[in-house]
Chains A and B, each alone.
Chain A
């Protein structure tokens, strides 16, 4: 079982470039999440998908878009990257009715110059 996988592991972008972070889970979970982790601030929720076909904003959605492609995959897109989006991004998943136990991927470290 791979659990939650994320690609890429590292990425460097220039201001204004776009990119998509990919996330997939093989645990048959209904719910998926995108977080960003910044020094001294813990994890903050960007977007989540309670179930296939739905997405909702979290605490810090500005500058991001998401797509729940199917039950397994949940992607995060930066349309025009800004230095303020330099962060470590984590994808997570959970069974719909056990939202407390989230399973996290290894993260993507993104630097925007």
Chain B
């Protein structure tokens, strides 16, 4: 079945450091891929998405590229801020259905 695996956290970085959170997936067909972010005490928010191979999703300085050959969708940001401290979830949706599969989440702490 479909699944998403992302790196375990927590990840602790200093402000302005480079961020990478790894995500790999298993899916039949051609899934759409997403990153959601959950700030403390809030629900999840869509951060970025990519719907086909080689697409790059980007938002708020974050980027992720849909790599079909390595079945990966790694999240990157060149310079993190304290305000980026949150839990990040990688997710996939296969086809046009209503079911989204989420990874376990990676907690990011950014120190000033």
Residues of A within 8 A of B (CB): 4, 31, 33, 40-45, 48, 50, 56, 58-59, 90, 92, 99-107
Contacts and interface: CB of A to CB of B under 8 A. Distances in A.
8 contacts: A41-B104, A42-B89, A48-B99, A90-B43, A99-B97, A100-B34, A100-B51, A107-B43
Q: Would you list the 7 A-B pairs with minimal beta carbon distance, nearest first? A: A104-B43, A42-B102, A43-B102, A104-B44, A42-B104, A105-B43, A106-B43
A59 B43 contact: no
Contacts, number: 54
B4 interface: yes
B15 to A, nearest CB: 27
A82 B43 CA distance: 24
Contacts of A48: 98-99
B99 A45 contact: yes
Contacts of B98: 31, 33, 48, 50, 56, 99
A45 to B, nearest CB: 6
Contacts of B27: none
Contact of B46 (A4, A40, A102): A102
Contact of A4 (B43, B91, B97): B43
B29 interface: no
A105 B45 CA distance: 10
Contacts of B49: 100-101
Contacts of A59: 99
